[in-house]
Amino acid sequence: MYDINDSWLSQPPKYTTFRINSLKKFSFCQLEQVLKNQADELNISVLPNYYKLNPDCLILEQWSYNELNLEKTNNDAIVDALCAAAVLRGSHVFAPGVMGLPTNCKLNGKINIYGDLEGNCKRGLKVKYNGKKLYVGYGILKMLRHDLFDKEKSSGMAIQTLMPASKLPVVNETIYEEGVLLLQNLPSIVCGWVVNAKANEFILDMCAAPGNKTTHLAEMSNNQAKIIAIDKTSQKTEKIKQLCIKHEVQCVKIYTADSTKCCSKDSLGVDAGPPFPPNSFDKVLLDAPCSGLGQRPQLNNKITPKMLESYKFVQRKLLSTAVDLLKVGGKLIYSTCTVTVEENEGLVNWALEKYPSLKLIPSHPLMGGPGLPSCGLNDDQRLMVQRFRPEVDILRPTEAIYRDTIGFFIATFTKTANKDK
Give the Cβ contact number of residue 286 at 10 Å: 24
Q: Decide if pLDDT at 371 tops 60.
A: yes
Average pLDDT over residues 70-77: 82
Q: Is the dihedral of CA 173, 177, 178, 181 positive or negative?
A: negative
Q: What is the pLDDT of residue 4?
A: 45
HSE (CB half, 13 Å, CA atoms) of 333?
Answer: 27
- Do residues 191 and 335 lie in contact, with contact meaning Cβ atoms separated by under 8 Å? yes
Instruction: Answer whether residue 252 shows pLDDT above 70.
Output: yes
pTM for this entry: 0.95
Q: What is the pLDDT of residue 67?
A: 62
User: Class for domain 185-415, per CATH?
Assistant: alpha beta
- At the topology level of CATH, where does 76-164 sit? 2.30.130
**HEC profile of the chain:** CCCCCCHHHHCCCCEEEEEECCCCCCCCHHHHHHHHHHHHHHCCCCCCCEEEEECCEEEEECCCCCCCCCCCCCCEEEECHHHHHHHHCCCCEEHHHEEECCCCCCCCCEEEEEEECCCCCCCCECCCCCCCEEEEEEEEECCCHHHHHCCCCCCCEEEEEEEECCCCCCCCHHHCCCCCEEECCHHHHHHHHHHCCCCCCEEEECCCCCCHHHHHHHHHCCCCCEEEEEECCHHHHHHHHHHHHHCCCCCEEEEECCHHHCECCCCCCHHHCCCECCCCEEEEEEECCCCCCCCCCCCCCCCCHHHHHHHHHHHHHHHHHHHHHEEEEEEEEEEECCCCCCCCHHHHHHHHHHCCCEEEECCCCCCCECCCCCCCCCHHHHHHCEEECCCCCCCCCCCHHHHCCCCEEEEEEEECCCCCC
Provide mean pLDDT across the span 321-339.
97
Residue 421 — pLDDT band, cuts 50, 70, 90? Answer: very low
Residue 5 has pLDDT above 60, yes or no: no
| Residue 66: per-residue pLDDT | 64
Asked if the model's pLDDT at residue 112 lies above 90, the reply is: yes
What's the confidence (pLDDT) of residue 17? 98
**What value does the mean pLDDT take over residues 327-337?**
98
Higher pLDDT, 345 or 150: 345
Q: What percent of the chain has pLDDT over 90?
A: 86
* 91-103: pLDDT as tens digits: 999 999 999 999 9
Q: Which of 165, 162, 156, 106 is nearest to 139 (CA)?
A: 162
pLDDT tens digits for 378-418?
999 999 999 999 999 999 999 999 999 999 999 999 999 86
Mean pLDDT over each residue of the chain, to the nearest integer: 94
More reliable by pLDDT, 2 or 376: 376
Mean pLDDT of 322-327: 98
pLDDT computed for residue 276 by the predictor: 97
Active site residue 337: yes
Q: Is 155 exposed, middle or buried (0-12, 13-18, 19+ CB in 10 A)?
A: exposed
Q: Is the pLDDT of residue 216 over 50?
A: yes
What percent of the chain has a predicted confidence (pLDDT) above 70?
A: 96
At residue 65 the predicted structure's pLDDT band, cuts being 50, 70 and 90, is low
> Residue 151 has what pLDDT?
78
pLDDT of residue 68: 60
| Residue 73 pLDDT class (50, 70, 90 cuts) | confident
What pLDDT was estimated at residue 2?
45
Q: Which residues contact 353 (CB under 8 A, 6 or more apart)?
A: none
pLDDT at 72: 75
**pLDDT tens, residue by residue, 75-96:** 999 999 999 999 999 999 999 9
Task: Give the pLDDT of residue 69.
Answer: 65
Q: What is the pLDDT of residue 303?
A: 86
Burial track 251-285 (b if 16+ CB lie within 10 A, e otherwise): bbebbbbebbebbeeebeebeebbbbbeebbbbbb
Segments making up each domain of the chain, as ranges: 76-164, 185-415
Mean pLDDT of the 286-290 span: 97
- Average pLDDT on 223-243 reads 98
Residue 382 is predicted with a pLDDT of 98
- Using CA atoms, how far apart are residues 395 and 28, in angstroms rounded to an integer? 37
Contact residues for 296 (Cβ-Cβ < 8 A; gap 6+): 8, 9, 10, 11, 12, 13, 85, 405, 406, 407
Q: Give the span between the Cα atoms of 334 and 213, in whole angstroms.
A: 13
Name the residue among 132, 135, 150 with its Cα closest to residue 95.
150
Confidence band, pLDDT 50/70/90 cuts, at residue 3 = very low
Mean local confidence (pLDDT), 264-275: 93
The residue annotated as part of the active site, out of 244, 290, 337, 375, is: 337
